[in-house]
Amino acid sequence: MLNNQRGFMLLSVIFLTLVVSFGAQILLNANVKVQQRNSTLYLTAINLANEQFAEIESYAAAGKNPETGFMGNPADLESLNGVKEDSVPVKFEVETSYENPGENLIKAKVKVKWTIGGRENSIVSEKIIRAR
């Protein structure tokens, strides 16, 4: 009778180990998906900032002042960011400010903000652009 109890305990330990390992695997997969989504959002914000800089550079190359003649500001863009269509889109806010550090120079500062899970994230990028 003593042998049967030990065998039952060994099976219980094996079963418990399997259950815990499956639970850990599920949690690890969920964490990886969250990290992938966060990096996708960060890269989308960088792309929005680069698009803004490209548009400012095209205005500067044409001899237009981006502060007064700027059109097509990508503020309030919404993007699905590579997630499924039934997901909630993330709204990005793009703010652009300018300084004139020199005669033919424009210092552009682009801030891209987005909120996910009640937490606000942002990136700030600056670039000096030569005007015509």
Q: Which of 38, 53, 33 is nearest to 114 (CA)?
A: 38
Q: Which positions ≥6 away from 130 have C-beta within 8 Å?
A: 60, 104, 105, 106
Report pLDDT for 124: 93
Model-level pTM? Answer: 0.60
Report pLDDT for 59: 79
* CB of 98 closer than 8 Å to CB of 106: yes
Alpha-carbon distance of 121 to 44, in angstroms, equals 12
Calculate mean pLDDT across residues 115-123: 84
pLDDT digits (tens, 9 = 90+) for 51-108: 888 888 887 777 776 665 544 444 444 454 555 555 667 788 888 888 877 777 888 8
pLDDT digits (tens, 9 = 90+) for 3-61: 555 556 777 888 889 999 988 888 887 777 777 777 888 888 888 888 888 888 887 77
Report pLDDT for 76: 40
